[in-house]
Structure 1
Amino acid sequence: MSEAHRVPLSYADVDAGWVTSALRDAWPGVTVSRVERGPVFGYKQNKFRISVDYAEGGEGRPRTFIVKGNFPGENDPSTGSAWAMANELRSIRDVAPLVAAPAGPQWHHIGITEEASAIIMEDLTPTGATFFHAFHTLDLGQAMAFMDAFARMHASAWDSPIFAAGGAMGPGTLAHENRRLVNDVYFPTFFTPENWQSYVELPRGRALPARFQNLDRAKDAWGRLWAIMPQTAMVVIHGDEHLGNLYVTGSGEPGLIDWVARPEHWPIGLSYFLLCALDIADRRMWERALLSHYLTRLRHYGADDVPSFEEAWFFYRCAAFYPVVTWLNNSAVWQPEAINTANAVRAATAALDHDSYGLLGL
């Protein structure tokens, strides 16, 4: 395999030769003479900062970048799976540019093979960006700004022909494949008895109300939720809108990282965001106003057939059950137990507040 098409399998493969070839996608004249790798950061062991020296073509170029990949050669499950990393990088490269996506780090190279994927992207730290985390929930102004950003993105493909056969995100496209992998391959693994019980027995599971621990009832509710979702508009969602993937730029603009972008029904992305990004008490006070704000901004950005508040409120409350299931079943490889527990409990509290099971006919 040529240097230009090599994807690093281990941390050590992120060397001057690979970085040079990768950066030449954007800057053909550049040559990197030295790469210094910083420590791996974040819960998953899959990203680190690099500092570079240039032999040629480095004038005005950044001296630091973030490299992220699944690095199968490290033989460490905490670097993540090949399909998940490929999904994320296809989202950034192929899906997000088709819609009015919020801010995100500029990327300079993406390489994807069946075994490994990697990206070189902008280091946002020097730009003054502020990152959130699961225990730093949004205030009202921040939540409104993100709702506006999601409304703008959703409106840009609101029930668009782009999702139909022959469209840029229709069957046979990478966007459609992203949705298939999540909905038809990943989600069904939740409901095997062994998998379900293994998560119920963790702190996050035992922290949930008993009705949400019951596999048969949860599986029934899950099926009913997806059966009514086609009554709502299809949009492009970020796909993992929790606090660990949110930031604001130095100028205060909402930003997103770690995409799992795919065509999806709008209540799925919106409920996941609101129920995970807000403190429980704040969510109870603000969610009606935030949903109203979202609908107003959808109209502002040109979406047609925007639902009434009453209709949107119904589907949003039904979809409150979605993050209960996804956070209960989130792998400990991807997030620590404290974060899985916090988000599962936030979602379960909302599903109780809104009687999601009752709305779904249970």
Structure 2
Amino acid sequence: MSEGMNVPLRYQDVNARWMTEALRGTWPDVEVTQVRHGPIFGYKRNKFRIEVDYAAGGNDRPRTFIVKGNFPGENDPSTGSAWAMANELRSIRDIAPLVAAPEGPHWHHISVEEEASAIVMEDLAPSGATFFHAFHTLDLGQAMAFMDAFAKMHASSWNSPMFAEGGVMGPGTLAWENRRLVNDVYFPTFFQQENWQSYVDLPRGRALPNAFQDLDKARQAWTNLWALLPQTAMVVVHGDEHLGNLYVTASGKPGLIDWVARPEHWPIGISYFMLCTIDVADRRKWERALLSHYLTRLAAHGAQDVPSFEEAWFIYRCATFYPVVTWLNNSGIWQPEAINTANAVRAATAALDHDAFALLGV
């Protein structure tokens, strides 16, 4: 990584000079002579493919890369917030390497500053990787493979000393700050009356059963869920395990993008994954087998004191309430309404199937 580089504030700042500096962390003698921007892709206007030309002798290197950033100079809210981009890139650079993380695109350069951050990473398209989206749910083999990948990552941090005072992911560290910002700053905004009602009034909210639109009931269930979670193991979670952040390599190996990594209790990551990536009918058929597979693979990857199936089944069913609230309250900047609605309804259906309100004493 090249130090002291300016972070691009506008799309046009990703030019030959900037790319030369960005790639010199990988190839010290590289010189980019020209950059051609492809169209911006994805719902958020924060990433695009570029094609580069090199000076003589560089053509054995990749010709295309993906560049992502929050680009504040564009004055476009749809590029995303500075905090979210910084969180993502620090997760990739500083937290994921501390655990047995699933596959991810190789990155060549990351810059993180207060107002702007950017990453240059591998373009996975030439390698034949397949990306998912909210309306292309996983089949059973794919779901099992991702469960194994999550089990391996979770086992590598299962109740780890890394989370203790003085540990590399303990209080006062970047990882713990990610957890604090998500749990203590972001989540409480959900339950402000005006915010809650604004989302309930959207199609996603009106698509939910009445019980899930009730602020007081939801607040109590949420409080009771977080009171239960400390009984479960702390792990590093990806933090946003929905279909838009998953891919498989050409050989079928699971991969993840767009991290919000932090120490968290394992049911949060597993319930979110199961409810957001599997069709409702399939989830009803497969969830017991998938949870059992996760527990078996945790033990195989070296986790100690893995819960029994009965213990895990109880807390998983309680945690089905978590993605109901997070998708109901997801900003329209992050995902289009159809995706917010699909995931909120998938989660609410599971919470109804498992009578999560009753399990949580509401």
State whether TM-score is above 0.5. yes
Find the counterpart in structure 2 of residue 192 from structure 1: 192
User: How far apart are 1:26 and its partner, in Å?
Assistant: 1.8
What letter corresponds to residue 203 of structure 2 in structure 1? Answer: P
Find the counterpart in structure 1 of residue 225 from structure 2: 225
Instruction: Please give the alpha-carbon distance, in whole angstroms, between the structure 2 residues aligned to 1:184 and 1:56.
Output: 53
Instruction: Please give the alpha-carbon distance, in whole angstroms, between the structure 2 residues aligned to 1:165 and 1:59.
Output: 49
Instruction: Please give the alpha-carbon distance, in whole angstroms, between the structure 2 residues aligned to 1:150 and 1:309.
Output: 17
**Which residues of 2 match residues 1-362 of structure 1 at below 5 A?**
4-55=4-55, 58-362=58-362
Instruction: Please give the alpha-carbon distance, in whole angstroms, between the structure 1 residues aligned to 2:185 and 2:19.
Output: 34
User: Residue 187 of structure 1 aligns to a residue in which SS?
Assistant: helix
Give the gaps of 5 or more residues in structure 2.
none
What letter corresponds to residue 224 of structure 2 in structure 1? Answer: R
Instruction: Please give the alpha-carbon distance, in whole angstroms, between the structure 2 residues aligned to 1:183 and 1:3.
Output: 32
What letter corresponds to residue 167 of structure 1 in structure 2? Answer: G
Instruction: Please give the alpha-carbon distance, in whole angstroms, between the structure 1 residues aligned to 2:223 and 2:58.
Output: 54
- Alignment deviations for residues 284-335 of structure 1 (CA, whole Å, 9 cap, x no partner): 0000000000000000000000000000000100000000000000011110
Instruction: Please give the alpha-carbon distance, in whole angstroms, between the structure 2 residues aligned to 1:345 and 1:162.
Output: 36
Instruction: Please give the alpha-carbon distance, in whole angstroms, between the structure 1 residues aligned to 2:165 and 2:57.
Output: 44
Q: Is the 8 A contact 1:31 1:57 kept in 2?
A: no
- Which piece of structure 1 moves more, 241-250 or 169-178? 169-178
User: How far apart are 1:59 and its partner, in Å?
Assistant: 4.3
- Alignment deviations for residues 57-116 of structure 1 (CA, whole Å, 9 cap, x no partner): 624211000000000011111000000000000000000000000011000000000000
Instruction: Please give the alpha-carbon distance, in whole angstroms, between the structure 2 residues aligned to 1:172 and 1:58.
Output: 43
User: Residue 92 of structure 1 aligns to a residue in which SS?
Assistant: helix
Instruction: Please give the alpha-carbon distance, in whole angstroms, between the structure 2 residues aligned to 1:201 and 1:246.
Output: 30
Instruction: Please give the alpha-carbon distance, in whole angstroms, between the structure 2 residues aligned to 1:21 and 1:208.
Output: 50
User: Residue 5 of structure 1 aligns to a residue in which SS?
Assistant: coil
User: Residue 361 of structure 1 aligns to a residue in which SS?
Assistant: coil
Instruction: Please give the alpha-carbon distance, in whole angstroms, between the structure 2 residues aligned to 1:7 and 1:180.
Output: 26
- Alignment deviations for residues 98-139 of structure 1 (CA, whole Å, 9 cap, x no partner): 000001100000000000000000000000000000001001
Instruction: Please give the alpha-carbon distance, in whole angstroms, between the structure 2 residues aligned to 1:118 and 1:276.
Output: 27
Instruction: Please give the alpha-carbon distance, in whole angstroms, between the structure 1 residues aligned to 2:266 and 2:153.
Output: 11
Aligned-CA RMSD value? 1.0
Q: Is the 8 A contact 1:88 1:260 kept in 2?
A: yes
What letter corresponds to residue 97 of structure 1 in structure 2? Answer: P
Percent of aligned positions that are identical: 80
Instruction: Please give the alpha-carbon distance, in whole angstroms, between the structure 2 residues aligned to 1:208 and 1:100.
Output: 37
What letter corresponds to residue 280 of structure 2 in structure 1? Answer: I
Instruction: Please give the alpha-carbon distance, in whole angstroms, between the structure 2 residues aligned to 1:5 and 1:293.
Output: 45
Instruction: Please give the alpha-carbon distance, in whole angstroms, between the structure 2 residues aligned to 1:59 and 1:161.
Output: 46
Q: Is the 8 A contact 1:29 1:57 kept in 2?
A: no
User: Residue 36 of structure 2 aligns to a residue in which SS?
Assistant: strand
- Matched residue count: 361
Q: Is the 8 A contact 1:33 1:55 kept in 2?
A: yes
Q: Is the 8 A contact 1:153 1:236 kept in 2?
A: yes
Instruction: Please give the alpha-carbon distance, in whole angstroms, between the structure 1 residues aligned to 2:79 and 2:92.
Output: 19
User: Residue 159 of structure 1 aligns to a residue in which SS?
Assistant: coil
- Taking a change above 3 Å as real, the CA distance of residues 172 and 203 of structure 1, as seen in their structure-2 partners, is same
Scaled by the length of structure 1, the TM-score of the pair is: 0.98
